[in-house]
Amino acid sequence: MGAVINLTVHGVGPRSGGAPGRALGRALEPGEAETWVDVGRFERVLDAVADRPDVRLTFDDGNASDVETALPRLLDRGLTAEFFVLAGRLGEPGRLTADGVRELVKAGMTVGSHGWAHRDWRRLTAPQVGEELVRAHHVLSDITGEPVTRVAIPFGSYDRHVLRRLRRASVTRAYTSDGGPARPDAWLQPRTSLRHDLDDAWITRVLAPPGPAARLRRTAARLVKRTRGR
């Protein structure tokens, strides 16, 4: 296989659950509504990638919609996905529970870590590093019964210090939010997040091979992130 395309889903379903800025039982964080997709758009994406082995699906944040809404639709199409869970928010309103994580694993899905409390990994204190990159992995490993060694970087925020910490934590793959295609076996994997207003043109554009100018821009942007300091 050549390049792969990694797509990220954050939440599926109505963005408003009876009060402004709420979705499925909890308040949305600032900017989160931009990546929360309704069921119809989510299904359009699934149908577009069902016969595309070069497309990989990932889910961030550990929302309850991962099990309640997304999982049955993945199974209906014979699709699998990797779910990156916030270990410190398990059981909160609108979030996955430990039993929900086990249900994902039982259904053939993979579980990775999105950290502990959705913090920017470039701004962590020493105690927070332990929570985000050690404790979160242990909690999820205990729930799944398998080692958890893959992560999705919150907010796509990383620099050379973050990458060094991840390697020291024995992370075997790190997903970003940089967009564009990836080498299937690369340690650092760019992803493209689904948008609340995606349409058929968006799907076609994201799934199409990028042109030379787009490849150059993305390569330059990733290089800056990999080498920058604080």
pLDDT level of residue 230 (50, 70, 90 thresholds): low
**What is the predicted pLDDT for the residue at 27?**
84
Q: Is the pLDDT of residue 59 over 70?
A: yes
Mean pLDDT estimate for the chain = 91
CATH architecture for residues 4-227: Alpha-Beta Barrel (3.20)
Q: Is the pLDDT of residue 24 over 50?
A: yes
Q: What is the pLDDT of residues 97-118, one digit of tens each?
A: 999 999 999 999 999 999 999 9
Q: What percent of the chain stands above pLDDT 70?
A: 87
Pick the range with the lowest mean pLDDT from 10-19, 37-46, 170-179: 10-19
**Mean pLDDT score, 26-55:** 94
**Mean pLDDT score, 1-29:** 78
User: Is the pTM above the cut of 0.95?
Assistant: no
Residue in the block written with tokens 């990989």 = 56
Domain parsing of the chain, residue ranges = 4-227
**Mean pLDDT score, 53-70:** 96
**Mean pLDDT score, 211-228:** 58
**What is the predicted pLDDT for the residue at 20?**
47
pLDDT level of residue 211 (50, 70, 90 thresholds): low
**Mean pLDDT score, 141-169:** 97
